[in-house]
Amino acid sequence: MATPIVELKDVSKRFVKSLDMAGKLAAKLGANVREETVHAVDRVSLSVAEGEVVGLVGESGCGKSTLGRIVAGILPQTQGEVLYRGQPLSALSGQARVKAALAVQMIFQDPYASLNPRMRVADIIGEAPLYHGLTDKAGEVAYLDETMRRVGLDPAYKKRYPHQFSGGQRQRIGIARALAVKPEFVVCDESVAALDVSIQAQILNLFMELRAALNLTYLFISHDLGVVRHLSDRVVIMYLGRVVEEGNTDDLFANPNHPYTVALLGEIPRLDTRKRVFVPVKGEIPSPLNPPGGCHFHPRCPHAMARCSVEAPVLREIAPGRRAACHLNDAS
């Protein structure tokens, strides 16, 4: 197998809310206060091959966005290693480090919050390629126009500010900004979630065109299983910081293994199911501050056994190309 373009090895991210002065004092005096730790991402390994589209699915608080940010190099991981083309990022320096950073870009969820309202579109898109020497002063305008046209924006609008665009167009600006530094790998974090259905289809089509034209690799983070199914070659399902299942898209949707995946797929409202009697999963997503022991899903799982509450299941291969973390797989 070729070297994956990006690989995560046992990556964890913990957010610690440390005690302030008063808290420390209270703790010394015996009060019941202590540091709170959120295991946003808990020992996740993931590899993405060149040209692949990997869908990362999960509900709020499962750590999918945090994982996306670690992949994109925006957040440092607490533990583990991120590899770019087989090289650990921590070992790279100088030119090689910059090259790896530029190769992985991110497109954010909220097209309103992720663009600087005081910058013109020309600067939002054009600043980075000029700085990194992908174009020079002479070629700047042509480079900008080409990038804007590529994402379906009229270059005549380059002097405008973000507030003068609609939601869908703003998302195109965000895409153009990411593409302007010629990345190989793009992390899309809920990039169509804030858009109306008809606009969402336009942006999804754009993602697919760009992939074909520029040979891009995507990590597509979404809570929308319909979107992920349409776009991805492979799907990774997360629950409370851990990967519970991964596999080839068609295979996973046809044959979900983990009870959480089964529940998640059962909950999607679909156009062709009419007057369906909803059979909901019981319970809520537990707080990541205080996750249940053993398998995180056991309090909501219809198949939970005594073992599930004490021992966390290991993510292991259940079929070629399929991995799942569930004790039920041991029984069979």
Partner 1 sequence: MTLEMTGEATLRVENLQTHFDTKAGTVRAVDGVSFEVRQGQILGLVGESGSGKSVTGFSIMGLVDPPGRIAGGRVLFQGRDIAKMGEEELRQLRGNRIAMIFQDPMMTLNPVLKVETQMIEAVQAHGNVDRRTAWTRARDALGQVGIPSPEERLNSYPHQFSGGMRQRVAIAIALLNKPDLIVADEPTTALDVTIQGQILYEVQKLARETRTALIWITHDLSVVASLADEICVMYAGRIVERGSVDQVLDAPAHPYTAGLIGSVPSRNVKGTKLVQIPGVMPSMLNLPSGCAFRLRCSHADATCEASAPPASGGARQVRCFHPLTEVA
Contacting residue, 264, 295, 318, 325, with partner 1 by CB under 8 A: 264
- Residue 120 or 223 having the CB closest to partner 1: 223
Contacting residue, 32, 93, 95, 273, with partner 1 by CB under 8 A: 273
Contacting residue, 198, 213, 331, 332, with partner 1 by CB under 8 A: 198
Binding span for partner 1 by CB under 8 A among 7-15, 105-113, 161-169, 321-329: 161-169
Alpha carbon 49 to its chain's center: 16
Site track 5-24 with partner 1 (rule: CB under 8 A), x = hit: --------------------
Q: 71-90: which residues touch partner 1 (CB under 8 A)?
A: none
Q: Is 263 in the site for partner 1 (CB under 8 A)?
A: yes
Buried b (16+ CB within 10 A) or exposed e, 172-187: bbbbbbbbbbebbbbb
Site track 205-224 with partner 1 (rule: CB under 8 A), x = hit: x--x--------------xx
- CA dist., res. 221 & res. 59, Å (int): 11
Q: 276-295: which residues touch partner 1 (CB under 8 A)?
A: 276-281, 284-285
- Residue 152 or 155 having the CB closest to partner 1: 152
State the minimum distance, in angstroms, from the CB of residue 203 to partner 1: 9
Contacting residue, 268, 289, 310, 314, with partner 1 by CB under 8 A: 268
Q: Is 302 in the site for partner 1 (CB under 8 A)?
A: no
State the minimum distance, in angstroms, from the CB of residue 321 to partner 1: 17
Under 8 Å CB-to-CB from 307, ≥6 apart: which residues?
294, 327
Contacting residue, 48, 56, 106, 227, with partner 1 by CB under 8 A: 227
State the minimum distance, in angstroms, from the CB of residue 273 to partner 1: 5
Q: Is 318 in the site for partner 1 (CB under 8 A)?
A: no
Contacting residue, 1, 21, 30, 60, with partner 1 by CB under 8 A: 60
- CA dist., res. 133 & res. 294, Å (int): 51
State the minimum distance, in angstroms, from the CB of residue 141 to partner 1: 27
Binding span for partner 1 by CB under 8 A among 32-40, 41-49, 67-75, 268-276: 268-276
- Residue 180 or 234 having the CB closest to partner 1: 234
Residues in contact with partner 1 by CB under 8 A are: 59-60, 166, 168-169, 196-202, 204-205, 208, 223-227, 229-231, 249-250, 263-264, 266-281, 284-285
